Amino acid sequence: MCGIVGFIGMPVKGTLITDSLKKLEYRGYDSWGVAFLSKGRIESFRAVGSINKIPKKIQEISSNLAIGHTRWATHGRICKNNAHPHLSSGNDITLVHNGIIDNFSELKTRLSGNSFNSDTDSEVILKLIEEKMDSGSDLLHAVSFAVSLLKGSFALLVFSSIEPAKLIAVKNESPLLLGVSDKGIFAASDQIPLRNFTDRFVFLEDGDIALISKNSFECFDFSLNPVERKIIKVESNVTSSGKLKYSHFMLKEIMEQPFVLKDVLVQDKKNFSEISFLIKKSNLVFIANGTSFNACLFGKEFFSRIAGINPRVIEASEFPYELDFLPENSLIFALSQSGETADVLDSVRKARKKGFKIISMVNVFNSSLVRLSDKVIYLNCGEEIGVASTKAFTSQIALLFLLANSFAGKFDSALIELNSVSSLMQQAIDFNLDSVKALSAKIKSFGDVYFIGRNLNYAVALEAALKLKEISYIHAEAFQAGSLKHGPLALISKGIPVIVVAPKDKVFSDTINNAIEAKSRGAFIVGVSNESNEVFDFFIKLPKVNELLFPLVSIIPLQLLAFHTAVFLERNPDRPRNLAKSVTVK
């Protein structure tokens, strides 16, 4: 979703801001814009679409104060006027915003004497600041006044040509951090665009206003009482953040899963025992969205099969409706790659208010979820840039398996077993690399693709269907294999692909029977298994592995299937339409 960057420091080229903004592209956006202070005036540029043709005026500009924004439309259609930065009527204040202002209609009514250039909720913030400065306030006090009236989520960057030595950053329930470098001080939605400049970050808290100058910063609460925020040095991630030899980030992230698993498994045994101890005393509830939600389904199965407890799994956007019915000893276990997903954060904040403890499993260092948690397990799988989550998913499954085993006193043996899966994941790639691409060439022509599985493998089917639909835009749906004849079988017609996730386990023959039922109605059956069967029209061959860990190998060719299908259809798997990597609004 929206991404923001800002800079104040020594004069830099305009392309430094556009290049940084490009590093936020992965979050998803439909338009973009930048504003610079140049020769005492604000120069701005906005456009719909991708950041590709950088106008000459930006390439040539030299500026020591700038802000930029990638917009993922919420309030107001996708058009140049709704793109950020917004400019005050006197062209002397400019602002970018990520988030949603819940009371914007109310505020717009209050500001009815003003003329608005956009349909966005963001422009009301600018107008409030402008009004206050027009009545004699300085920029900091005007921002403090404006934000005290706002309800909702907002990360803001603001500067004014009237006070050219200041950049102001505000954070409330939307991500924002500062990066302190030799060139000057940056602000951004996440660390990725700042990695080339610094490893020293300031993680702003909700309710913070930062007053930034070229070589220092001060933080305040919304009433301008000083608050202390420290600079934290963050080591670079384990994997390279570039695409390396791959055409797309998603492909790179799929292919690196076998060796990333080794890094993921470098975990602190004591942390796992402490978390296991907390779980023992509690009613365990998993919450997450999307792929992380699918990973929770494995958590539930692992805990019930290995640890003998039966946790609940609740989609984070539904969690607030369940909150009042949860037992007092509930322990909320939140999974999130980004640690910035709005529904997860909202649920966690509400759960904390009720006095529940929070455990999280997160990839991004010191993200908002981490700061709301009592205990954290880091995925350590390196930056995940592709919108479709891949390596974070396998890392989550591996660590949930490790945690359930830690609970059962088997941390060490589980660690050994998991380490040995790395080479089996590589085999899953090697066996299927070319054949899955050929399968994608067939799948791409279908409007519907179905995935079936039982038990843990139903969760694999769910995740495989999510991958295919989100990047290829083909309708893909998962069913419990046994439920086919209770309705979904009516969808099957000649040639429709049904992908059957069926390892050789005790339910193998039941699942094969369901595949036969679908085939009898004309389906084209793709078997995903470590055992061939005559019902399979196409076989995705997998190595033998402990049945609880089969998902770690079976999901990989299905990720590749989704990837190649999208590429065949000329859809960019890294940036699927309408989607964002980090879903920072509810």
Q: Which of 388, 421, 512, 561 binds ligand M6R (CB under 6 A)?
A: 388
Q: Determine whether 542 is exposed, middle or buried from the number of CB atoms within 10 Å of its CB (0-12, 13-18, 19+).
A: buried
Residues 6+ apart with CB under 8 A from 530: 503, 504, 541, 542, 543, 544, 545, 550
Q: Which of 3, 175, 179, 290 binds ligand M6R (CB under 6 A)?
A: 290
Among the listed residues 266, 250, 304, 99, the one whose alpha carbon sits nearest the alpha carbon of residue 563: 250
The sign one gets for the Cα dihedral 451, 454, 458, 461 is negative
Stretch that binds ligand M6R, among 43-51, 249-257, 288-296, 398-406 (CB under 6 A): 288-296
Minimum distance from residue 26 beta carbon to ligand M6R (Å) = 11
Q: Which of 63, 98, 189, 292 binds ligand M6R (CB under 6 A)?
A: 292
Between 344 and 400, name the residue whose CB sits nearer to ligand M6R.
Answer: 344
Between 130 and 383, name the residue whose CB sits nearer to ligand M6R.
Answer: 383
Query: How many other CB atoms are there within 10 angstroms of residue 451's CB atom?
Result: 28
Question: What residue is closest to ligand M6R based on CB?
Answer: 290
Stretch that binds ligand M6R, among 286-294, 443-451, 491-499, 550-558 (CB under 6 A): 286-294
Stretch that binds ligand M6R, among 122-130, 195-203, 285-293, 550-558 (CB under 6 A): 285-293
Identified catalytic residue from 2, 219, 296, 381: 2
Interface of this chain with ligand M6R, residues 25 to 44, rule: CB under 6 A:
none
Quick one: tokens of 98?
Answer: 């990520």
Minimum distance from residue 586 beta carbon to ligand M6R (Å) = 12
Q: Determine whether 138 is exposed, middle or buried from the number of CB atoms within 10 Å of its CB (0-12, 13-18, 19+).
A: middle
Q: Which of 61, 344, 399, 552 binds ligand M6R (CB under 6 A)?
A: 344
- Checking 309-314 for CB contacts under 8 A at 24+ apart, the result is 309/279, 309/284, 309/407, 311/284, 311/285, 311/286, 312/283, 312/284, 312/285, 312/286, 313/285, 313/286, 313/287, 314/285, 314/286, 314/287
Q: Which of 210, 254, 583, 585 binds ligand M6R (CB under 6 A)?
A: 583
Under rule CB under 6 A, residue 373 binds ligand M6R: no
Quick one: tokens of 541?
Answer: 């061959």
Across-strand partners of 480? 453
Under rule CB under 6 A, residue 341 binds ligand M6R: yes
Under rule CB under 6 A, residue 289 binds ligand M6R: yes
Minimum distance from residue 382 beta carbon to ligand M6R (Å) = 14
3-state DSSP assignment of residue 16 = helix
Please count the residues of this chain forming the interface with ligand M6R, following the rule CB under 6 A.
16
CA separation for the pair 136, 150 (Å, rounded): 21
Contact 540, 528 (CB under 8 A): yes
Stretch that binds ligand M6R, among 23-31, 267-275, 385-393, 414-422 (CB under 6 A): 385-393
Quick one: tokens of 502?
Answer: 């069926």
CA separation for the pair 253, 386 (Å, rounded): 8
Between 160 and 289, name the residue whose CB sits nearer to ligand M6R.
Answer: 289
Minimum distance from residue 547 beta carbon to ligand M6R (Å) = 25
What Cα–Cα distance (Å) separates residue 546 from each residue in 203, 253, 424, 543? 41, 24, 11, 10
Under rule CB under 6 A, residue 573 binds ligand M6R: no
Q: DSSP class of residue 205?
A: P
CA separation for the pair 200, 232 (Å, rounded): 6
Stretch that binds ligand M6R, among 87-95, 345-353, 386-394, 566-574 (CB under 6 A): 386-394
CA separation for the pair 548, 292 (Å, rounded): 18
CA separation for the pair 93, 546 (Å, rounded): 61
What order of strands is seen across the sheet that includes strand 31-38? 41-48, 31-38, 62-71, 3-13, 184-188, 177-180, 200-203, 232-233
Minimum distance from residue 489 beta carbon to ligand M6R (Å) = 28
Q: DSSP class of residue 307?
A: I
Q: Which of 30, 131, 301, 470 binds ligand M6R (CB under 6 A)?
A: 470
Stretch that binds ligand M6R, among 209-217, 387-395, 409-417, 451-459 (CB under 6 A): 387-395
CA separation for the pair 212, 482 (Å, rounded): 60
Quick one: tokens of 183?
Answer: 């060139």
581 annotated active-site: yes
Minimum distance from residue 428 beta carbon to ligand M6R (Å) = 19
Between 388 and 528, name the residue whose CB sits nearer to ligand M6R.
Answer: 388
Stretch that binds ligand M6R, among 51-59, 120-128, 164-172, 333-341 (CB under 6 A): 333-341
Between 64 and 341, name the residue whose CB sits nearer to ligand M6R.
Answer: 341
Under rule CB under 6 A, residue 585 binds ligand M6R: no
Between 208 and 574, name the residue whose CB sits nearer to ligand M6R.
Answer: 574
Minimum distance from residue 583 beta carbon to ligand M6R (Å) = 5
Under rule CB under 6 A, residue 337 binds ligand M6R: yes
Between 387 and 449, name the residue whose CB sits nearer to ligand M6R.
Answer: 387
Minimum distance from residue 376 beta carbon to ligand M6R (Å) = 14
Identified catalytic residue from 23, 171, 357, 581: 581
Query: How many other CB atoms are there within 10 angstroms of residue 380's CB atom?
Result: 19
The sign one gets for the Cα dihedral 361, 366, 367, 369 is positive
Between 147 and 499, name the residue whose CB sits nearer to ligand M6R.
Answer: 499
What Cα–Cα distance (Å) separates residue 53 from each residue in 46, 86, 364? 12, 21, 31
Under rule CB under 6 A, residue 336 binds ligand M6R: yes
Minimum distance from residue 338 beta carbon to ligand M6R (Å) = 3
Between 463 and 547, name the residue whose CB sits nearer to ligand M6R.
Answer: 463
CA separation for the pair 66, 129 (Å, rounded): 18
Q: Which of 94, 267, 282, 389 binds ligand M6R (CB under 6 A)?
A: 389
Q: Which of 63, 64, 161, 338 binds ligand M6R (CB under 6 A)?
A: 338
Residues forming the active site: 2, 581
The binding site for ligand M6R (CB under 6 A) comprises: 289-292, 336-338, 341, 344, 387-389, 466, 470, 579, 583
